[in-house]
Amino acid sequence: MSELARQFDTESALIADLLATRPLLSALNFHNTPARRRDELDRQLAHVARHYTPVDEDDLDAWLATGKWHKPKPGMVLAFYEGYRNGHDVIRPLLEKHGLIGWFFVITGFIDAPVAKQLDYALAHGIEMETREYAGDGRYALSWDEIRALDETHVVASHARSHRPIAPMTATERRAEVVGSQERLTGMLGHAVRTFVSWGGPAYGDDRAVDRLVDEAGYQFQFSNFRIQRLRAGPPSN
């Protein structure tokens, strides 16, 4: 059996155990959410609002710590990856229309790329561009002002620095991906972020060198392909 197959079997067994012992909390992942899909996204979020309740990091913390869910409907984590500008222009109004909370996983290198180079940066780092809806001014990433606005009522989290596999990187590059992204977000938001996910969705425990950096950065939660892990009690200190 290959290492990947063994990992899949282990994760599947873990998921089966969790489903048997804890109430179900779901996650729905989005990437690019262009304006041309606004009506479709509106219908999807209306469905979520009817059948689920929004989840913030305190809700997640309590659920993972106790296994008890304190709201009348199941929870739904709505995750929006990469840091596309349409997360603010398209998704934010729809979330607020339906009383939902979005989790915005931003790639700090994408946010910091000069506007004139953002499209090239995206194409070079596996950040899919479904449309060219911002060809006019060329800004495809969220601005820091938009991220701060999202941070007021939603969740802003780290999707690392450059959207590349961390394992093959040098030690310096790895630190920039994990700790550097936290430092950048902390500096721009005025507080540390609690949640981290890297390219490809490896879990905490898959790579000890990366785990040490996650600990150094103080992230409380790590998202991966098969689970959400609570790494420590309480949010990180600034």
Give per-residue pLDDT as tens, 133-147: 999 999 999 999 999
pLDDT beyond 60 at 180: yes
Question: Does 197 score more than 90 pLDDT?
Answer: yes
By the 8 A CB rule, do 169 and 177 touch?
A: yes
Three-state secondary structure call for residue 75: strand
Taking the model in full, what pTM does it have?
0.90
Does residue 8 register a pLDDT over 90? no
Q: Are 57 and 193 in contact (CB under 8 A)?
A: no
15-29, 87-101, 131-145: which has the minimum mean pLDDT? 15-29
Torsion angle defined by CA atoms of residues 47, 48, 53 and 54, in that order, rounded to the nearest 10 degrees: -140
Task: Return the exposure string of 209-224: e unless at least 16 CB atoms fall within 10 Å of the residue's CB, then b.
Answer: ebbebbeebbbbbbbb
> pLDDT band for position 23 (50/70/90)?
low
Nearest to 159 by CA among 201, 128, 109, 197: 197
Would you tell me the crossing angle of helices 181-189 and 144-153 to the nearest 10 degrees?
A: 80
**Pseudo-torsion of CA 110, 57, 238, 225, nearest 10°?**
-50
Mean pLDDT across the stretch 198-211?
A: 92
Look at residue 22 and tell me whether its pLDDT is greater than 90.
no
| Cα angle value 136/150/133 (rounded, 5°) | 20
Residue 145 structure tokens:
């002002």
Residue 38: pLDDT band with limits 50, 70, 90: very high
Question: Is residue 1's pLDDT more than 60?
Answer: no
Among candidates 103, 208, 209, 117, which has minimal Cα distance to 159?
Answer: 103
Look at residue 207 in the predicted model and tell me its pLDDT. Answer: 92
> What confidence category does residue 120 fall into, taking pLDDT thresholds of 50, 70 and 90?
very high
